[in-house]
Amino acid sequence: MKNVQFATFGGGCFWGVEKFLQEIPGVIDAVSGYAGGDLVDPSYTDVCGGRTGHAEVVNVEFDAAVISYSLLLEKFISKYGKTSSSNLDSVSQYRSIVLYRDSEQEEATKKVFAKIEANGGKKIATQIAALEKFYPAEDYHQDYHGSCRKEA
């Protein structure tokens, strides 16, 4: 029986993050988009302009009966987590960020970070914030799987 849940992560250009997450067993879908900022219904041009506060993120639909939120987060952090403290203050659309949906995800995120830091010795400087709203990116950004490029 499926246990469908959602998670939202940002780690740079959303195309690479989307492809990485889609290849993890238990992930049902991954949708590129924007979150973490103030502008309502932003466009790619708005976000790339750097004035919205939004990050390029991926909204992940996953089956928690196959992969837990914590394990999915560990895989994301192993590839896209940052250790440079400058990321904590970044408002770049390419910053590393975990956007939790509820207190359970918030607590799980803190536990995963503590576990990784205890095992690796470096403090994780990926931002953690509550998800206010996820805005899907334009259709041409979905399932792109190419290298990052500027919009023409």
Q: What is the pLDDT of residues 50-79, one digit of tens each?
A: 889 999 999 999 999 999 999 999 999 999
Calpha distance 53→39 (Å, rounded): 8
Higher pLDDT, 96 or 122: 96
- Range(s) of the domain holding residue 13: 4-141
152 within some domain:
no
C-alpha to C-alpha distance for 22 and 2, rounded to whole angstroms? 17
CA distance 92 to 116: 24
Is 57 part of a structural domain of the chain?
yes
pLDDT at 91 over 60: yes
Tens-digit pLDDT profile for residues 71-88:
999 999 999 998 888 888
Tell me what pLDDT residue 150 has.
Answer: 42
- Which residue out of 4, 8, 13, 55 is catalytically annotated? 13
Does the residue 150 lie in any domain?
no
> Is residue 10 included in any domain, yes or no?
yes
Domains of the chain: total: 1
pLDDT at 26 over 60: yes
Percent of the chain's residues with pLDDT above 70: 91
- The answer to whether 48 is a known catalytic residue is no
Interval 105-149: pLDDT, tens: 999 999 999 999 998 768 899 999 999 999 998 766 776 665 444
Q: How far is C-alpha 94 from the geometric centre of its chain's CA atoms?
A: 10
